[in-house]
């Protein structure tokens, strides 16, 4: 089930919220678990067993770590707990990739590989709920949070449907207090409804409208310069509005239940460096990689050269996390290399600078991001190289006839509108107030004027009308 679907909007969400608010407070975690299980099972019932297994495993491991905290058993439990989580993720997400890569090596070595092998189906959202489990047991081992004895609370945290299948990547310690006590009221519910409608409109009216333009450009065998740059721009807008729209909906749905999630995006396309970009893009993942991968690798504590290596490895593995494909690995390596170079050059994204420098730095950063998105979008390295060839003008300059007839005015309008929104968003920052969830994590409270709320309602109604005329509206990040 997806948020941008009639079944979710007109059946699941009203029924769930009714059941949730009618349930006594002590039963609300169980209600979340039941509702989220139905939400997940709408895709496939059989993978609920895997989800429940991951939940029970991490809950028991955390209790063991806390029980034997002062003995060597706790470290072995931590290693075992993380290892099993990674084995589950590795098997389901990377088995097919590993076997296909091995067969390629066989072919190049002149060895005939088997005709076929059993392909493993990727459970939706596994990357997210495995990361949630890992961060929980690590935080318990670090004494950042006590292990919860309430299985329903922990299961509700993992399965909480707003973030279950596409994030944000949350940490139990940020929501532990909210499971014990959270405020419900018309103000936070209406704020959540506003955020949900805003995210829904971003997804349907911008991301879904420019998607055909991006798809058509990337489907070309030999795109011209205009084809390639137009397609890259369309995908840059599509990906941002699709994923930030999903995150906005997740935050809004959580508020409707009284929870506050951390923000996942903060105007990333105005960044002046790749360092700043990763402080603004998919914030929950970048902070997770920093706290549970970069710092354990040594961070910046083992010398300059080790710092550069750790930055590169963190992003390389972050790219691999996004998908089992060499294009994702290269995309992660591209960002990791730039981060290391920026650290070497002493780039500081918070240092004030003249307007001219900010314009040049923002343009260069956005260009680097867009070049990376080509790898991210391409099905294989050959497709990415063909697209780069087009961007360089080696296949001609003007828009090709193949693409010209597929360009719709509405897609161009959505692309232009998305670009405008990207650069005017920072001017609305004054309506957003920080709410501390923990010393590391910040949520946002929106206090929008009534006219903006009415605009959100209007755009939402238009988006719902458009959704009803569409056959299907998947989220890009479901594949990760």
Q: Which two tokens stand for residue 108?
A: 């190049």
Cβ(275)–Cβ(247) under 8 Å?
A: no
Locus of tokens 């479901």: 478
Cβ(316)–Cβ(329) under 8 Å?
A: yes
Burial class (CB in 10 A: 0-12, 13-18, 19+), 45: exposed
Select which of 132, 322, 335, 380 is catalytic.
322
Write the CA distances from 107 to 153, 207, 260, 382, integer angstroms: 50, 40, 52, 18
* Residues belonging to the chain: 480
In sequence order, which residues have a C-beta less than 8 Å from that of residue 162 and are 6 or more positions away?
249, 250, 251, 253, 254, 261
Q: Is 322 a catalytic residue?
A: yes
Could you give the residue numbers annotated as active site?
322
């Amino acid at each position: 089930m997806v948020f941008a679907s009639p079944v979710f909007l007109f059946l699941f969400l009203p029924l769930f919220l009714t059941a949730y608010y009618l349930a006594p407070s002590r039963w609300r975690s169980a209600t979340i678990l039941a509702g989220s299980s139905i939400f997940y099972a709408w895709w496939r019932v059989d993978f609920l067993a895997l989800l429940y297994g991951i939940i029970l495993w991490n809950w028991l491991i955390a209790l063991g770590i806390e029980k034997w905290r002062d003995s060597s058993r706790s470290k072995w439990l931590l290693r075992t707990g993380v290892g099993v989580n990674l084995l589950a993720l590795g098997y389901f997400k990377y088995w097919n990739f590993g076997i296909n890569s091995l067969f390629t090596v066989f072919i190049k070595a002149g060895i005939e590989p088997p005709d076929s092998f059993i392909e493993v189906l990727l459970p939706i959202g596994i990357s997210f709920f495995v990361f949630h489990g890992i961060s929980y047991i690590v935080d318990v081992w670090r004494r950042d949070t006590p292990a919860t004895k309430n299985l329903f609370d922990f299961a509700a945290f993992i399965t909480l449907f707003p973030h279950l299948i596409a994030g944000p990547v949350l940490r139990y310690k940020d929501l532990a207090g909210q499971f014990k006590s959270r405020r419900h009221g018309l103000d936070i519910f209406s704020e959540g409804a506003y955020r949900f409608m805003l995210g829904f409109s971003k997804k349907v009216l911008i991301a879904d409208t420019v998607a055909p333009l991006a798809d058509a450009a990337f489907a070309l065998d030999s795109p011209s310069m205009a084809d390639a740059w137009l397609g890259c721009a369309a995908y840059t807008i599509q990906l941002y509005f699709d994923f930030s729209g999903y995150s906005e909906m997740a935050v809004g749905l959580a508020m409707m239940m009284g929870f506050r999630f951390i923000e996942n995006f903060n105007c990333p396309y105005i960044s002046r460096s790749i360092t700043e970009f990763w402080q603004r893009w998919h914030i929950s993942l970048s902070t997770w990689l920093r706290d549970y991968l970069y710092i354990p690798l040594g961070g910046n504590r083992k010398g300059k050269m080790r710092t550069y290596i750790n930055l590169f490895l963190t992003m390389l593995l972050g790219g691999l996390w996004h998908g089992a494909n060499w294009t994702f690995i290269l995309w992660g390596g591209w960002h990791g290399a730039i981060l290391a170079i920026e650290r070497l050059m002493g780039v500081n994204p918070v240092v004030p600078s003249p307007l001219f420098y900010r314009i040049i730095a923002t343009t260069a950063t956005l260009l680097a991001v867009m070049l990376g998105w080509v790898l991210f979008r391409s099905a294989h390295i050959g497709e990415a190289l063909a697209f780069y060839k087009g961007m360089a003008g080696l296949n001609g300059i003007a828009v090709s006839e193949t693409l010209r007839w597929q360009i719709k005015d509405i897609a161009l309008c959505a692309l232009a509108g998305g670009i405008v929104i990207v650069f005017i968003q920072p001017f609305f920052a004054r309506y957003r107030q920080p709410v501390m969830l923990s010393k590391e994590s910040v949520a946002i409270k929106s206090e929008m004027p009534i006219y903006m709320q009415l605009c959100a309602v209007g755009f939402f109604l238009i988006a719902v009308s458009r959704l009803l005329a569409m056959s299907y509206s998947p989220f890009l990040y479901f594949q990760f």
